[in-house]
């Protein structure tokens, strides 16, 4: 079996910043409410005409450059998104074309906020089976396009952005050690967006299930990998709410400083949040080659999971 090594990480967010104070101008809300309930201070918002693939191109180029390969070396492009450019073709096809790849296998994953870790799991399978040498896994979202901007219970939470990693056939210790991916369609109504309509969420219920399910998935992934939680250098959770992240740290009995968050800057960017957080944490020196990291996410579907990586 081959080893899956993350050889490059990239991110991109739109330039336009929407602060909590900006939201106060057209919603019955306050910076104080949003900050204390979610940890979010501001988020990035794409232009109306910007597509998920546009954000993805910029993030992918950085990841590919960091990996030291060419766009032509990519065998598989996997895009996780709930805000695709079109129903079909897939956003992955648009992305591969915009990157000028060499006609790779390209497809999208619909797993809401868990999309990136679902994608990484699939990418790992392609590498481990020897079916691919370089897989581009991208999370990209223009959630601002599916937000009901008159609904204060959801409008304050989300932002736009993209993150990407290149997963390559490795020849050292770096590897994806374990993955645990789950779903529960019976709770679809807690968090959903009918085709052509706007996003709806029952926040309180989602909150409880997010903490509980991520905790279970993390513990399962750790035991599958044979890694003790004390050995994890950094947990990189999906960025939905700072209170969810802190509650998860408490349940896992992992100190908060070992659980990364940049939610104050970007809000919840759904499938993009983990690769964006990975990029920033790596650049900030929070983990390095040889460290064990733990990724975990929860989102609409419901979907959730966890991944243990030796970076
Ligand atoms: N400004 C001011 N007041 C507000 C706002 C707002 N923006 N939004 C809601 N309120 C009010 C509510 O109306 C309610 O008022 P009431 O008590 O008079 O009825 C009060 O604040 C409390 O509302 P709750 O919903 O109970 O607030 P809660 O503390 O649960 O926080 C939140 C809400 C932030 C949505 C939280 O529940 C949460 O983060 N949920 C999980 C989100 C998540 O994990 N989603 C999954 C990933 S996303 C994906 O997959 C696409």
ipTM: 0.91
Residues 166 and 185 placed together within one structural domain of the fold: no
Q: Which residues neighbour 67 within 8 Å (Cβ) at sequence distance 6 or greater? A: 7, 8, 134, 166, 168
Q: pLDDT tens digit string along 29-54?
A: 999 999 999 999 999 999 999 999 99
Phi (first) and psi of residue 128, to 5 degrees: -60, -30
- Mean pLDDT calculated for residue range 201-228: 96
Q: Is residue 267 part of a domain?
A: no
pLDDT of residue 90: 98
Answer yes or no: 241 catalytic: no
Q: Among 263, 230, 227, which residue's Cα sits nearest to residue 245? A: 263
- Structural tokens at position 58: 């910029």
Residues 159 and 12 placed together within one structural domain of the fold: yes
Q: Is residue 265 part of a domain?
A: no
Q: Among 127, 123, 56, 48, which residue's Cα sits nearest to residue 93? A: 56
- Mean pLDDT calculated for residue range 167-194: 96
For residues 55 and 161, the answer to whether their CB atoms sit within 8 Å is yes
Give the C-alpha separation, 300 to 268, whole Å: 13
- CA 283 / ligand 1 centre spacing (Å): 32
Domain boundary among 170, 197, 228: 170
Percent of the chain with pLDDT strictly greater than 90: 99
Residues 126 and 207 placed together within one structural domain of the fold: no
Residues 282 and 147 placed together within one structural domain of the fold: no
Domain boundary among 170, 195, 213: 170
Residue 301 alpha carbon, nearest atom of ligand 1 = 50
Q: Is residue 31 part of a domain?
A: yes
Q: What's the total number of domains in the chain?
A: 2
- Sign of the torsion angle spanned by Cα atoms 108, 94, 125, 287: negative
Q: Is residue 266 part of a domain?
A: no
Q: pLDDT tens digit string along 282-293?
A: 999 999 999 999
Give the C-alpha separation, 198 to 145, whole Å: 8
pLDDT of residue 197: 96
Q: Which of 93, 113, 193, 218 is catalytic?
A: 113
Domain boundary among 107, 137, 170: 170
The confidence band for 1, taking pLDDT boundaries of 50, 70 and 90, is confident
Query: C-alpha distances in angstroms, 12 versus 66, 166, 178?
Result: 14, 15, 27
With a 6 A CB cut-off, is 202 part of the ligand 1 pocket?
Answer: no
Q: Which of 58, 193, 238, 241 is catalytic?
A: 238
Residues 19 and 157 placed together within one structural domain of the fold: yes
Give the C-alpha separation, 275 to 252, whole Å: 22
Q: Is residue 148 part of a domain?
A: yes
Residues 142 and 255 placed together within one structural domain of the fold: no
The CATH number that applies at residue 233 is 3.40.47.10
Give the residue carrying structure tokens 């993209």.
162
Residue 143 alpha carbon, nearest atom of ligand 1 = 51
Residues 136 and 223 placed together within one structural domain of the fold: no
Residues 256 and 228 placed together within one structural domain of the fold: yes
Q: Is residue 71 part of a domain?
A: yes
pTM: 0.96
Q: pLDDT tens digit string along 141-162?
A: 999 999 999 999 999 999 999 9
pLDDT of residue 47: 97
Q: Is residue 184 part of a domain?
A: yes
Residues 227 and 110 placed together within one structural domain of the fold: no
DSSP the chain: --EEEEEEEEEE--S-EEEHHHHHTTSS--HHHHHHHH---EEE---TT--HHHHHHHHHHHHHHHHT--GGG--EEEEE-SS-SSSSS-HHHHHHHHTT-SS-EEEEE--GGGHHHHHHHHHHHHHHTTS-SEEEEEEEE-GGGT--TT-HHHHTTB--EEEEEEEEEESSS-EEEEEEEEE-GGGGGGEE--TTS--EE-HHHHHHHHHHHHHHHHHHHHHHHT--GGGEEEEEE--S-HHHHHHHHHHHT--GGGB---HHHH-B-GGGHHHHHHHHHHHTTSS-TT-EEEEEEEETTTEEEEEEEE-
Mean pLDDT taken over the chain:
97
Residues 97 and 194 placed together within one structural domain of the fold: no
- Domain enclosing residue 220, as ranges: 175-260+272-310
pLDDT of residue 5: 98
Residue 38 alpha carbon, nearest atom of ligand 1 = 34
Q: pLDDT tens digit string along 50-80?
A: 999 999 999 999 999 999 999 999 999 999 9
Residues 88 and 231 placed together within one structural domain of the fold: no
With a 6 A CB cut-off, is 156 part of the ligand 1 pocket?
Answer: yes
Percent of the chain with pLDDT strictly greater than 70: 100
Residues 134 and 219 placed together within one structural domain of the fold: no
Q: Is residue 101 part of a domain?
A: yes
């Amino acid at each position: 079996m081959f080893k899956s090594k993350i050889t490059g990480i990239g991110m991109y967010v739109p330039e336009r910043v929407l602060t909590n104070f900006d939201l106060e101008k057209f919603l019955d809300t306050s910076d104080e409410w949003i900050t204390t309930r979610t940890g979010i201070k501001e988020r990035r918002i794409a232009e109306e005409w910007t597509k998920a693939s546009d954000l993805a191109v910029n993030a992918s180029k950085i990841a590919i450059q960091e990996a030291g390969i060419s766009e032509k070396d990519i065998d598989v492009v996997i895009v996780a998104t709930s805000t695709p450019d079109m129903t079909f073709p897939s956003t992955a096809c648009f992305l591969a074309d915009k990157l000028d790849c060499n006609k790779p296998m390209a497809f999208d994953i619909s797993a809401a906020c868990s999309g990136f870790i679902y994608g990484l799991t699939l990418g790992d399978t392609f590498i481990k089976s020897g079916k691919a040498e370089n897989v581009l896994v991208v999370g990209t979202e223009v959630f601002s396009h599916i937000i009901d901007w008159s609904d204060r219970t959801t409008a304050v939470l989300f932002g736009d952005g993209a993150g990407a990693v290149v997963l390559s056939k490795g020849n050292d210790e770096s590897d994806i050690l374990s993955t645990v991916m789950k779903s529960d369609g019976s709770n679809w109504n807690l968090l959903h967006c009918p085709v052509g309509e706007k996003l709806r969420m029952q926040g309180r219920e989602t909150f409880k299930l997010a903490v509980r399910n991520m905790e279970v998935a993390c513990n399962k992934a750790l035991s599958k990998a044979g890694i003790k939680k004390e050995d994890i250098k950094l947990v990189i959770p999906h960025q939905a709410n700072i209170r969810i992240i802190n509650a998860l740290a408490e349940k896992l009995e992992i100190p908060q400083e070992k659980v990364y968050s940049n939610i104050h800057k970007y809000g919840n960017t759904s499938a993009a949040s983990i690769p964006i957080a990975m990029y920033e944490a790596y650049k900030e020196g929070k983990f390095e080659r040889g460290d064990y990291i733990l990724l975990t996410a929860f989102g609409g579907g419901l979907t959730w999971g966890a991944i243990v990586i030796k970076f």
